[in-house]
Structure 1
Amino acid sequence: MARKSKEFQRLFHEETHAKKSPRREPTPQSIRKKELAAYDQFKEKLENDEQNKGITFVEKPKGMRKMSMVLEQFVAPFLDDEDSYEEREFFFELAVLAWNCAVFPESGREKLMESFFSGLANPLDPESMEATQDLRVFVEELIERKLDVFPKDNRIIQDFQLTQHEAGFHIAVSYVIAR
């Protein structure tokens, strides 16, 4: 058999690889499957946490909207499609802080905010102090939004998990109901 030239081999390689189908777009089913897997992982993490021993987890309380959907609606006006995973995760941390502060009586809010912001600012760096103050003002705006838009929702968010997939982001939330 005659030996094929390198040029022929290159052309053959390009031709056979060009015929492969392009990468498929994710289907709603594949996205949902990934979201459920992320949720199961989050749930397992919570159930295996020592602090949660003896706690019964309820996934869909009757008469209540999913907290993940409520939290997404709460932050929707502030999110941008161009936000990176890290930016979104930090924003959700601020949103959870604001949400929980709004559930507490006004007298307890400052203590909760102080515990969050105390480790962020470097007192020797004026820019750091200014950025932290800007974040504090933003959290106060989010508190007002929570009180205006979701005044009767008294759930306290304990934890959340943000995951990213081909079609966007998914958030899972664990909470307790304040009495």
Structure 2
Amino acid sequence: MKRMISLTLVLLLLLSVSPAQEGSVVSAPRFGGDQLTIPVKVWGEVVRPGIYEVPFEYDLLAVLSVAGGPENTAKLTNVKVLRATRINKDDPIVVYVDLQQYIETGNEELIPEIRMGDTIMVPPKFGKNFVRNFAAVLAIAQSIVIMAYYIDRVLE
């Protein structure tokens, strides 16, 4: 009897959930406790990339801090903020931020506000991709040399 009731409750719960339809609004401000929160996406060279609900008044540094901060491999001179919404028609869709300059000067005017639905992209330094790609090419070259050596030994 208990099993039948549990099964019925689970089925009712599953049937009451409606999936999002195409064109549904996904990002909307919410109240998280006492404050208004907004969804923000953080991609790239941060400790924990992902989608975060952050307080409405957070700036770029605060959001990056929520994501664990930048990795050592992050290129801080070219952080991008992709705007999901524009306040004015002249507002740029992509805002480039030089966090290295902020670190050196402390000029808070360099740090943009974050808006609902923004995507923050922290790119990798050139060296990270270069080392990864160079290591892959080197491994392939090593395999070819070893195969050539063994083929030469077998043919002798």
TM-score normalized by the length of structure 2: 0.29
TM-score normalized by the length of structure 1: 0.26
The structure carrying a bigger helix percent of its residues is 1
The structure carrying a bigger strand percent of its residues is 2
